[in-house]
Amino acid sequence: MTKFNELGVSAPIMKALEKMGFEEATPIQAETIPHALEGHDVIGQAQTGTGKTAAFGIPLINKINAKLRKVQGLIVAPTRELAIQVAEEINRLAKFKSVRALAIYGGQPMDRQIRALKDGPQIVVATPGRLLDHMRRKTIRIDQVHTAVLDEADEMLNMGFIDDIREILKGIPEERQTLLFSATMPKEIRNIATTLMKEPKEVKVKAKEMTVENIDQYFIEIPEKYKFDTLNNHLDINSPELAIIFARTKKRVDEVAEGLQARGYRSEGIHGDLTQGKRMSVLKKFKQGRVDVLVATDVAARGLDISGVTHVYNFDIPQDPESYVHRIGRTGRAGKMGEAISFITPREMAHLNLIEQTTKSKMKRMAPPTNQDARRGQQQVTIEKLKNAINEKDLKVYEDAAKELLDEYDSITVVSAAISMMTKERRDTPVRISSVAPISVKKAKNQKDNKTKGRSNNKRFYGGRGQGGRNQGGRGQGGRNRKGKGNYQRRNRDN
């Protein structure tokens, strides 16, 4: 275990770390901070929730000249919410040094950002599109920038956004230091990344698996049309503190979020088509626990650090194994435990193997909970409430009423009636979710024969009812699927 003062971190940052309760450096911090402080370019790869933000934040703040009120550090992140969160963490780390970080991102009025930029923040955290906008309008000056950070670098370099990143980096003096971080770094993306850097030190925190071990990973093989009720049952049984449910499209996110609301859950959806104001208010409610089930597209998959997320559900499995890693990484952060449950349609079973091969971890099969299990789960919640009332409330004023009731009925009947009245009967509310085509499993096809055998025992749970074709809605997959995915990822990318 490494202490921060062994890493050459300056006194004001040490003081902030102490205030934040960071006692020891995480492995990625211990390994990258010395390289970064020496001025090297760094590629840092470590599992989700292991403190990569501070791994680049600390050396960056360390290097800032607090007296110079010019942008000296530039951090680029793929989503607006992440830009905001990273700026907040940087500001916490820089609390005892006169260094300020500002987040700039799409969906917020330009003039407000221009005014804020004039205030002289030394660090700017931005989404690529909005940053380029400011650069082209010359409303941001980056000629004094000595450090550039790409957080979630692979995501930004993925899918043709390399040109935006290149253009951004071209505006920064060449002698800059470049730091690049992510939990995933596919080889081809890393190769692109190295073209943007000078002899980078590559730090990959050694781990057997790409996912953190404190996340228990499960899958449930389930036909499309049973997903929603299964999700309901699960939520009732587990009563997550906070849960994030990932769905494939914005439409599905809206439908699932509304369906859950109709069934009495405090649920909201988040995706790239919402106004920025709405996105922020949904996230705020979720962080405060006023919403406890967040339904999201991949816009919420990367980087978001929300404490109390005990469960992540893949209502639809993602196409990319990398996306799986990031999604489930919203739980099990900073050493806490978490649970990830992926719904996989029988036709997608081969895709499960592809994900497992990439992440080098296994998902355990879980039987879908029955309605009876769920009912027991719901009743358990009621029973807990009753027990709390017994222990904590003054029940004297109700005693006469209770005695009257017990004169007329036996105690079991009375208590059963009370439990029934206090228990939500969710399934009385019908909910319809439009179906989607299963994920294309093209890439994984040749693994299908040897790997999925014996796994596809869907019959056990559903009495061998027909599946497949009906879920697909007759649509072809392949090319179309891939195109669709590219589109929504692009739009989600936001800026």
Ligand X SMILES: Nc1ncnc2c1ncn2[C@@H]1O[C@H](COP(=O)(O)OP(=O)(O)OP(=O)(O)O)[C@@H](O)[C@H]1O
Helix/strand/coil for 300: helix
CA gap 150, 121 in Å, rounded? 18
Taking CB within 5 to 8 Å according to partner kind, which of Mg ion, ligand X, none is near residue 25?
Answer: ligand X
Alpha-carbon gap, residue 288 to 284, rounded angstroms:
6
Q: In 10 A of CB 191, how many CB atoms?
A: 11
CB 360 to ligand X: min, Å: 17
By beta-carbon proximity to Mg ion, the closer residue of 303 and 321 is 303
Place of tokens 């000056």: 141
Nearest of 348, 352, 359 to residue 440 by alpha carbon: 348
Position with the least CB separation from ligand X:
51
Residues 6+ apart with CB under 8 A from 207: 46, 47
Applying CB under 6 A, the residues found at the interface with ligand X are 22, 24-26, 29, 48-54, 183, 303, 305, 329, 333-334
**Residue placing its CB nearer to Mg ion in the complex, 49 or 121:** 49
3-state secondary structure 46-67: CCCCCCHHHHHHHHHHHHCCCC
CB neighbours of residue 470 within 10 Å: 13
Tokens, residue 446: 């040749």
Instruction: Compute the least distance from the CB of residue 9 to ligand X, in Å.
Output: 11
Start-to-end Cα distance in the chain? 38
- Choose the one of Mg ion, ligand X, none that binds residue 22, judging by a C-beta under 5 to 8 angstroms depending on kind: ligand X
Rank residues 358 and 435 by Cβ distance to ligand X and give the closer one. Answer: 358
**Shortest gap between Cβ of 476 and ligand X (angstroms)?**
35
Cβ at position 329, least distance to Mg ion in Å: 9
200 Cβ partners below 8 Å, 6+ apart? 40, 41, 42, 43, 178, 180, 193, 194
- Least CB distance to ligand X at residue 31 (A): 13
Q: Whose Cβ is closer to ligand X: residue 22's or residue 226's? A: 22
**Helices vs strands, H then E, count in the chain:** 21, 14
- Whichever of 53 and 233 has its CB closer to Mg ion, that residue is 53
State the binding partner of 184 from Mg ion, ligand X, none, CB within 5 to 8 A by kind.
none
Six token digits for residue 343: 């719904």
- What sections of 393-466 are H helices per DSSP? 399-408, 411-422, 445-451, 459-462
Q: Give kind and range of the element (H or E) at residue 40.
A: none
Q: Which does 90 bind (CB under 5 to 8 A by kind): ligand X, Mg ion, none?
A: none
Q: Min. distance of Cβ 22 from ligand X in angstroms?
A: 4
Residues that bind Mg ion (CB under 5 A): 52, 303
Residue 334's binding partner, choosing from ligand X, Mg ion, none, with beta-carbon cut-off 5 to 8 A by kind? ligand X
Write the single-letter amino acid at 331: T
Among ligand X, Mg ion, none, what binds residue 333 when CB lies within 5 to 8 Å by partner kind? ligand X
Binder of residue 311, out of Mg ion, ligand X, none (CB less than 5 to 8 A by kind): none
The one of Mg ion, ligand X, none whose footprint includes residue 495, by CB under 5 to 8 A per kind, is none
Nearest CA-CA partner of 465 in 224, 229, 256, 230: 224
Token pair listed for 483: 């195109």
The DSSP 8-state label assigned to residue 456 in this structure reads -
Q: What, of Mg ion, ligand X, none, does residue 54 touch, CB below 5 to 8 Å by kind? A: ligand X
Nearer to ligand X, 32 or 50 (CB): 50
Nearer to Mg ion, 45 or 113 (CB): 45
**Smallest distance, ligand X to C-beta of residue 53, A:** 3
To ligand X, the closest distance from the beta carbon of 169 in angstroms equals 21
Cβ distance to ligand X smaller for residue 1 or 401: 1
CB 323 → ligand X: shortest distance, Å?
A: 12
Q: Which is nearer to ligand X, 329 or 346 (CB)?
A: 329
